[in-house]
Amino acid sequence: MNCKLPILFGVSLTIAASAASAQIPWPRLPVIFPLGGSQPGSPPPPGAAPVTAPPAALQAALAASAGSDTVYFSANGFTLDSNAAATLTAQARWLLTNAMVRVRLEGHGDSTDTRDYALAIGERRADSVRDFLVAQGIAPERISVLSWGKERPGSIRIGASSVAAGPRVVTVIQ
Amino acid sequence: MIIRASSLGGRAGLAVALLFSTAAGAQDRPAPDPDSAAAVVIAIPPLATAKKVDTDAGDTWTLANQISDLIVADLKSTSSFIIANAKAVRIPSYPEVTAPSYPQWRSVGAKLLVSGFVNARSDGRLTIGCYLYDVQAGRELDRQGFAVTPTEWRRAAHKCADAAYTRVTGRAPTFDSRIAYVARSGTDEQPVKRLAVMDFDGANHVYLTDGAAIVLTPRWSPKGDRIAYTSFEGGRLHVRIADVDTKADRPLLPVGDDSFAPAFAPDGRTIALSMSVGGNIDLFAVDSGGGIPRRLTTAPSIETGPSYSPDGKRIAFTSDRSGSPQIYVMDSDGSNQRRISFGGGDYGSAAWSPDGDKIAFTRRDGPLIRIGIMSADGSGDRIVSAGPDDEQPSWSPDGSRLLFQRLDPGSRRTLLAMVPARGGEVRTVITPQSAADPSWAETQE
């Protein structure tokens, strides 16, 4: 599903907004609007997405602002590399700005993991992301965690073909 | 072989009353080694019936043929039997069921003969008698009789096949058993997964869940009356218990930490599972009726995929404390943990064999994901399936075969397949839809 986002940054962005399924990693965008500085409970600053916006629009706004709603991991890995840390730092900034938004961190295993291990490592990856976001100042109550194991393999389109999205955590607006 | 009448209650609600059973000369020779024994030629003519009577499952004459066909199909699915050409021989008359004409069975090369009868009873049930003869020696080896409702004739036939199978191989019965698995429909992005149960041969297929929530990794209770499985119901990853006959279904634990990967202990009273507590995934043991989970592992790594040894004293499991998932064994209280997989690549889905000597596993090595077996101490690691995408081995009740999930490269669908534990031909198990996560019912007595 595509949706138009005409207002937020003064430019019109078309973003694949199906967050639960994997998608083309959105190219990193420069942060146009200065974000951050808000505390939970304070009124949203002018740059914040309206809290009444539908989740799909908020999801697209998060992805646009942070560069992606998804961070990727190596096989059997759950530590955050520098790309993931940069993306999550930007996600944290957006979440601080949009203080009413709650997120679910959806962890995924690899399709070649065994069923049990995929559930476990997906959970572990989502926990890594939660710990990072909490360390960035996001209140733990705003974050829930779910592992899909290898039940939502997702796909990334590369030209005409698609490959499995693989080990990742998607930050899904609730 | 003697089957006690009380042991036939393995499936609650089924009335397969044992009418008679003898084990003439059952102790007169040691059980042969099933892996070295040559295939035995066995004759299985159609059963006899005293009188053609209509029943709820068709007339008794038709049933007599169906029962012998099923016995043939069961025994042919093993490598231990060659079916003699019974068409060359006169079909036994009713009196000949208990007094076989041995010379005519010798003439077709048979060493063993299975004969029997099916009669309609006045109470609407069937009496099915089953006799096993040593044709060469000219004597009876075993007899069993069952009173079943007409729709349960298949169980009597399976038990009859089991009598011949256990007699020849020395193995535990295997045909009167059931398989639980996850049936999959829908799309890759929105799969519909349902818990399903069927007989070992695919008959009597039923769904236990409606597909509203994704379900994974069913595991039978030792008695075959319950199934523990993992569910996403309510958007929460948790272990549930389904009663197979009543279809009653409940969460094992109250709302709380995520839980998954259940496995029954052999006593049926304890379930081992993984729980995510404070960001660490460890193994716990919990009473199968619920209660407070007892922690078994404490490592900061992932511990999951438990499987009890048949004596209940040890647990095999998966841990990535070494940096990659490997198989470990510990005492069932969590002590004496040690790694046993060293064959290279990643390991998982450990399954302890019914005889306690072996552990089956899934091994990912480069592009290949295959099923293998090693001794419970980790020695003798060997691969028994070709891959490239095999997973989740489950032992047959007699330990002779492994049932597993295989990705069919052509259709890109997963199906169930069987392979002899010593390696050999892989057979596909027919299911109505894509199938995953098989669990073969543990031994029914």
Taking the CA of residue B303 and the nearest CA in chain A, the distance in Å comes to 8
Bridge partner residues of B192 (DSSP): B185
Q: Of B128, B126, B130, B125, which Cα lies nearest the Cα of B143?
A: B130
CB contact A142 to B (< 8 Å): no
With a cut of 90, say whether residue B78 has pLDDT above it.
Answer: no
Does the beta-carbon distance from A120 to B302 stay under 8 Å?
Answer: yes
Q: Are B176 and B159 in contact (CB under 8 A)?
A: yes
Does the beta-carbon distance from B324 to A113 stay under 8 Å?
Answer: no
Cα–Cα distance for residue pair B161/B155, rounded to 1 Å:
10
pLDDT recorded at residue B279: 87
Cα–Cα distance for residue pair B366/B383, rounded to 1 Å:
14
- How many Cβ atoms sit within 10 Å of the Cβ of residue A14? 10
Q: Of B267, B264, B296, B268, which Cα lies nearest the Cα of B280?
A: B296
Residues of chain B contacting residue A113, judged by C-beta atoms under 8 Å apart:
325, 348, 364
CB contact A130 to B (< 8 Å): yes
Pairing between strand B434-440 and B427-429? unpaired
**Model pLDDT for residues B89-112, shown as the tens digit of each residue:** 888 899 999 999 999 999 999 999
Q: Of B418, B398, B439, which Cα lies nearest the Cα of B180?
A: B439
CB contact B346 to A (< 8 Å): yes
Please name the helix (run of DSSP H) or strand (run of DSSP E) that holds residue B104, with its range, or none: helix B102-106
Does the beta-carbon distance from B274 to A116 stay under 8 Å?
Answer: yes
Between A162 and B201, the more confident residue is: B201
Mean pLDDT of B7-26: 49
Residues of chain B contacting residue A149, judged by C-beta atoms under 8 Å apart:
216
CB contact B274 to A (< 8 Å): yes
Q: Count of A–B CB contacts within 8 Å?
A: 88
Taking the CA of residue B349 and the nearest CA in chain A, the distance in Å comes to 7
pLDDT recorded at residue B418: 95
With a cut of 50, say whether residue B320 has pLDDT above it.
Answer: yes
**Model pLDDT for residues B367-400, shown as the tens digit of each residue:** 999 999 999 999 999 999 998 999 999 999 999 9
What integer best gives the mean pLDDT of chain A? 79
Cα separations (Å) of B236 from B59, B255, B257? 50, 9, 9
Residues of chain B contacting residue A21, judged by C-beta atoms under 8 Å apart:
189
The answer to whether the pTM exceeds 0.80 is yes
Q: Of B410, B407, B303, which Cα lies nearest the Cα of B364?
A: B407
Does the beta-carbon distance from B348 to A124 stay under 8 Å?
Answer: no
Of the candidates A112, A117, A123, the beta carbon closest to that of B276 is on: A123
| Percent of chain A residues past pLDDT 70, beyond the cut | 70
Looking at chain A, which residue has its C-alpha nearest residue B274? Answer: A120
Q: Are B18 and B144 in contact (CB under 8 A)?
A: yes
Cα separations (Å) of A17 from A59, A159, B151? 6, 19, 53
Instruction: Kindly report the backbone phi and psi dihedral angles of residue B324, in degrees, each rounded to the nearest multiple of 5, phi listed first.
Output: -140, 155
Which pair of structure tokens corresponds to residue B231?
């569910």
Mean pLDDT of A6-23: 38
**Model pLDDT for residues B329-381, shown as the tens digit of each residue:** 999 999 999 999 999 999 999 999 999 999 999 999 999 999 999 999 999 99
Q: Could you say which DSSP state residue A49 is in?
A: P
Cα–Cα distance for residue pair B158/B138, rounded to 1 Å:
24
Of the candidates B217, B258, B324, the beta carbon closest to that of A116 is on: B217
Residues of chain A contacting residue B282, judged by C-beta atoms under 8 Å apart:
none
Task: Pick left, alpha or beta for residue B50 (phi over 0 → left; psi -120 to 50 → alpha; otherwise beta).
Answer: alpha
Instruction: Kindly report the backbone phi and psi dihedral angles of residue B320, in degrees, each rounded to the nearest multiple of 5, phi listed first.
Output: -110, 30
Taking the CA of residue A120 and the nearest CA in chain B, the distance in Å comes to 7
Does the beta-carbon distance from A147 to B392 stay under 8 Å?
Answer: no
CB contact B294 to A (< 8 Å): no
Looking at chain A, which residue has its C-alpha nearest residue B302? Answer: A120
With a cut of 80, say whether residue B242 has pLDDT above it.
Answer: yes
